[in-house]
Chain A
Amino acid sequence: MRIKTIYENFIAKIFVFLVLVMVCLSCNINRPCDEQVRFPVNTGFYYITDEEVKDTILEDITVFGIGREDSLLYDQDTTNAINFRLSPYVDITEIVIVYGPLYDTLTFNYSRELRMISPECGFAFLFDIKELNNTSNFIDSVSLIDPKLEGIETEHLQIFVY
């Protein structure tokens, strides 16, 4: 009986080494979620002079959604920009912005897209705003810059105040 050990072959030794290295490399490492999973409406406040558009700082701003009057989406003493989330469960969200004693309501009509952000971060809704209406107590006008809520850096909405 002859026993042949391929392990004694130099090529096989190299191969066995590569097996061990690659098995280690192919192990899965659970990574934390480092991506955005909520996509708010990033909003800036502006006013229009005769010559140009300037950003402006408003004091005592609060924001809440119709249907959730018991809880605030935003509460800040002084700011020139706010962000707030639309409801991911319906296609219309009404947002009330309170500026001191004045109230204005923004009505968003939009479509939603459910998407897996990543295996680590799970699912999220992305929004595409189709229509926007507003009341005008302290708001002069609004300008929808980017209707797609898919990123955190973009300013989506400009609100021009009196």
Chain B
Amino acid sequence: MKQSIYKYLFISILAGISVSVYAQVDTTRSVRGILLGLDLSRFVVTALEPVHNNFELSLGFSVTENIQLHAEGGYLNVDFSDDEYTYKQSGSYYRFGAEYNLLKRQPGELDQIYVGLMYGYSPYTHEAENITISDGYWGTGEGSLPLTRNTAHWIEIKGGLRVELWKNLFVGYALRLRIFMAGKTDPKLDPYLIPGFGKAEKTSTIGMSYSIFYRIPLGDKKR
């Protein structure tokens, strides 16, 4: 049994195939419940980019059979140096919205294929130090751009699936199309990224998350 779970979890990570395993249809389970999530893909980002202390948590709550309200929040730091400058950024981000389940489910089954719409907001600060500029005639000099406080607002359309691997333990991934709406930006310094949004030079970005969830059951009937 355990081997089967590991096998299918591994396959799901590699190929984007998610599989749920359970013994029988459980008609005592309600769709109600609180879903707590941790985005595992943030740790991959930390390994590939100069991003530190990057984590994202989520909280979901079913309001009807197929509609869930979701709140997501995260934090990150960016810190890197190269020959030209030292860059530091830190910020948090928040998303609020709803998901609609597309999957026709059997009683007690809580797997989801969903689409959702969210509003995103990020306050962040950034600065650049030890900026070295070479002029072919006048020589080389240094400068800095002091810390500024900035914000970003965006709309996010997401689609994904969430599969119960074990009782109340889910994994799932989501594709996220983010469309920048407004914000206070620094005219002198482009942010390395907008926390929760992605590359700042784009007005729309595509992201993906792979998360693990635990459902706190509410409204389940006792046998």
| A residues apposed to B, CB below 8 Å | 1-7, 9, 11-12, 15-16, 18-20, 22-23, 25-26, 28, 38, 65, 68, 71, 73, 85, 87-89, 113-116, 118-119, 122-125
| A115 adjacent to B208 (CB under 8 Å) | no
| B17 adjacent to A2 (CB under 8 Å) | no
Q: Which residue of A lies closest to B207 (CB)?
A: A26
| B15 adjacent to A22 (CB under 8 Å) | no
- Chain B, interface size category, equals 35 or more
Interface residues as binary, B52-90 with A (CB distance below 8 Å gives 1, 0 otherwise) = 000000000000000000000000000000001100000
Please indicate which of the listed interface residues A18, A65, A123 has the most CB atoms of chain B within 10 Å of its own CB.
Answer: A123
| A44–B128 CA distance with the chains assembled, in angstroms | 37
| B residues apposed to A, CB below 8 Å | 1, 4, 15-24, 84-85, 102-103, 111, 113, 128, 131, 133, 135, 137-139, 141, 143-145, 159-161, 163, 173, 175, 187-190, 192, 199, 201, 205-208
A/B interface sample: 25 pairs, CB < 8 A: A1-B1, A1-B21, A1-B23, A4-B20, A6-B19, A11-B102, A11-B103, A15-B175, A16-B15, A18-B159, A19-B208, A22-B175, A25-B206, A26-B207, A65-B138, A85-B137, A85-B138, A88-B133, A113-B188, A114-B143, A114-B145, A115-B187, A116-B190, A119-B201, A125-B133
| B141 adjacent to A89 (CB under 8 Å) | yes
A6 contact from B20, B138, B143, B145, Cβ within 8 A: B20
Tell me the interface secondary structure of chain A in the complex: mixed
Find chain B residues with CB under 8 A from A12 CB: 17-18, 113, 161
| B19 adjacent to A88 (CB under 8 Å) | no
| A2 adjacent to B23 (CB under 8 Å) | yes
Find chain A residues with CB under 8 A from B128 CB: 116, 123
| B175 adjacent to A18 (CB under 8 Å) | yes
| A124–B173 CA distance with the chains assembled, in angstroms | 41
Sample of 15 more A-B contacts, CB < 8 Å, known A15-B160, A18-B159: A4-B22, A6-B18, A6-B161, A15-B16, A19-B16, A26-B206, A26-B207, A73-B137, A85-B135, A88-B141, A89-B139, A116-B145, A118-B190, A119-B201, A123-B85
B19 contact from A5, A38, A85, A118, Cβ within 8 A: A5
